[in-house]
Amino acid sequence: MNTSTKSYLGLEKLEVFSIRHWTKRTFSFQCKRPKNLRFRSGEFVMIGLENGDKPLLRAYSIASPSWDEILEFYSIKVSDGPLTSRLQNLTKGDSIFLKPKSVGTLVLDALIPSQRLILFSTGTGIAPFLSVIRDPETYEKFDQVILTHTCRYKDELEYGKKVYEKTNNDNLLSEIINGKLKLISTTTREDTQLMGRMTEWLQNGKFKINTGKDLNLESDRVMICGSLNMLQDHKNICLQKGMIEGSNSNPGHFVIEKAFVD
C-alpha cells in the first residue's frame, strides 16, 4: 500500500505510524499531523487511499485534540466497504491521503455556554468526542463533562475506555480536567454492569441516577454522534426539553452529526 507520490491531486500524504485493532469491526490509527491542517476539536476531514485518477475519500472525525501533533482516527471495518475493506489492512509505514480542510458542527463554538456538557455517542460516533474531551477549552467552558458511549458488545467500548484512562492519567490534562470528566459506557446486547441505550436511560430515570441530574435546558448542552436513528431519537428528546439545535453561525443548546451515512 506504500506509495512514492509526494502529493496526490492536492491531497496531503500522511505516513501511518501506529495501528491498533480493537475488535473484529474496529481499529484506530495514528499519523503525523501535517503543518497546514488546522482544526477545531470535534471536526472531521476527508481521508482515504490512492485509487487511480480519483482518490477514494471518506469523511472521518479526528479523534485527537486540536493541539496534538498526532492525528488519530477510529475506524469501522466494513467488509465490502470500498474504503475500509482496504484501510483495515494498513500497516506501519503505509500512507493515507488527507484533504487538509476540516469541518463539522460538534464544536464548542456551536453551543451557548452553560454548566454541563453531555456527549452522547454510539459506535465509532465516539471519535469526535475523544477529541473534545482532550481539549482544555472544554473545561474552561464547562464545569462538568459527561461522555456516554453505547455499543452492542463490551469489547466495542474498549477504545473509548483506554483514551479516557490515558486522558485522566496525563499529568497536564488531569490537572485541567480536575475531576470534571465522567465516562458512561453501556452495552445493548452483551450483559454488562451498565446496559441500555441513553434514550432509554433518559426516559427511565437511569440517566439522572448516574449523572446526578436529569437532562435539562438550564444547565445542559448536548452533542450527539451516532447512526441516523440514534440522532433522531436524541434530537427529539432535546427538542422536548425546549432545546434549540445549534450551528457554527448560530450557537444553540444541542448539536448533532452523523457518524456515518446509512
Ligand X SMILES: Cc1cc2nc3c(=O)[nH]c(=O)nc-3n(C[C@H](O)[C@H](O)[C@H](O)COP(=O)(O)OP(=O)(O)OC[C@H]3O[C@@H](n4cnc5c(N)ncnc54)[C@H](O)[C@@H]3O)c2cc1C
102-131 mask for ligand X (x: CB under 6 A)? Answer: ---------------------xx--x----
| Short-list 253, 252, 183, 250, CA closest to 221 | 253
* 161 contacts 198 by C-beta, under 8 angstroms: no
Q: Smallest distance, Å, CB 115 to ligand X?
A: 28
Shortest separation between residue 199's beta carbon and ligand X, angstroms: 18
Return the range that interacts with ligand X (CB under 6 A); candidates 10-18, 80-88, 139-147, 238-246: 80-88
Which residues lie across from 71 on neighbouring strands?
31
Percentages helix, strand, coil for the chain (3-state, rounded to 5) are 25, 35, 40
C-beta of 214: minimal distance to ligand X in Å?
29
Verify binding: residue 260, ligand X, rule CB under 6 A: yes
Q: Are 108 and 221 in contact (CB under 8 A)?
A: no
Nearer Cβ to ligand X (121/144): 121
Cell of 226: 451516532
Residue 80: CB minimum distance to ligand X, A: 8
d(CA 105, CA 109): 9
Judged by CB under 6 A, the stretch of 76-84, 154-162, 203-211, 248-256 that binds ligand X is: 76-84
Q: What is the DSSP letter of 184?
A: E
Give the footprint of ligand X on this chain (CB under 6 A).
44, 58-61, 74-76, 78, 81-85, 123-124, 127, 257-262
